[in-house]
Amino acid sequence: MVLSVTNDMKVSEQMMEFLISELVVYVKDSCTTPAATSNSNSNSNTAKEDGGGGGGGGVKEDEEALTVAAEMAAAKLERIGFAVGYRLTERLAQNKTWNAVPNQDTAAAVAAQQLEAVKFLCKEIWMDVFGKQIDKLQTNHRGVFVLKDLNLKWLTRFPSGTEQARVSAIRLLAFPCGLIRGCLSNLGIPAVVSCDFLSDGQNMAACSFNIKVK
């Protein structure tokens, strides 16, 4: 008797969520200098001892350092997401046939190719990463696309209505933004990707990704 062997390898969704959360923490810590964290705690204690007075300059400098660190962490997560999206697209698109519509002018042909690439992202890439397709795709057919995910799995455990959760969610969203940019870059479409919440942060899992083709 011959046993069938499958080459499909799957990763538990819970393990993937844990990996991403640990990656976010690791990147955040790697971009935050120990000196800035130490000075921030020191200035906080000094302010308490002084009854809230003094140390204003040091606190401002520490806040600026932490802001720079947060921006560095977001950029690093975006680059990691870009690499993952680029390589994932290389694997998933290798056997895909891209349909060319005859008798189209150049602008219409480019717009059609961009739309097909984004649809591939919304269906196959999103399904492979999140186990579902994008809920809604909107476009003006001039290089602007809006992808709406009403229940992004990586954000479902975030509590709503807290500033700390919102900041953490925004930091994590840098990864799928990079994922989208990497996918499109592999398909020959340079783009700028940003994200936002659909309900002012009240529902962390409902978000949109805005794509502007360069």
pLDDT in tens, 98-132: 776 666 778 888 888 999 999 999 999 999 999 99
Residue bearing the bigger pLDDT, 19 or 117: 117
User: How far is the C-alpha of 43 from the C-alpha of 55, rounded, in Å?
Assistant: 6
Distances (CA, A) of 63 to 38, 39, 41, 111, 127: 12, 10, 11, 44, 39
Q: What is the model's pLDDT at position 48? A: 45
Q: What is the model's pLDDT at position 50? A: 53
> What average pLDDT does the segment 46-65 reach?
60
Residue bearing the bigger pLDDT, 78 or 48: 78
Beta bridge partners of 194: 210
For 182-196, what is each residue's pLDDT tens digit?
A: 999 999 999 999 999
Global pTM exceeds 0.85: no
Sheet holding 207-213, edge to edge: 136-139, 144-149, 207-213, 191-197
Share of the chain above pLDDT 90, in %: 44
Q: What is the model's pLDDT at position 45? A: 47
Q: Which of 6-10, 114-118, 158-162, 198-202 has the lowest mean pLDDT?
A: 6-10
Q: What is the model's pLDDT at position 100? A: 67
Percentages helix, strand, coil for the chain (3-state, rounded to 5) are 60, 10, 30
Average pLDDT of the chain is 83
For 132-183, what is each residue's pLDDT tens digit?
A: 999 999 999 889 999 999 999 898 888 877 888 888 888 899 999 999 999 9
Residue 56's pLDDT band (cuts 50, 70, 90): low
Q: Tell me, letter by letter, the H, E, C secondary structure of 83-99.
A: HHHHHHHHHHCCCCCCC
57: phi then psi, degrees, rounded to nearest 5: -65, -40
Q: What is the model's pLDDT at position 9? A: 65
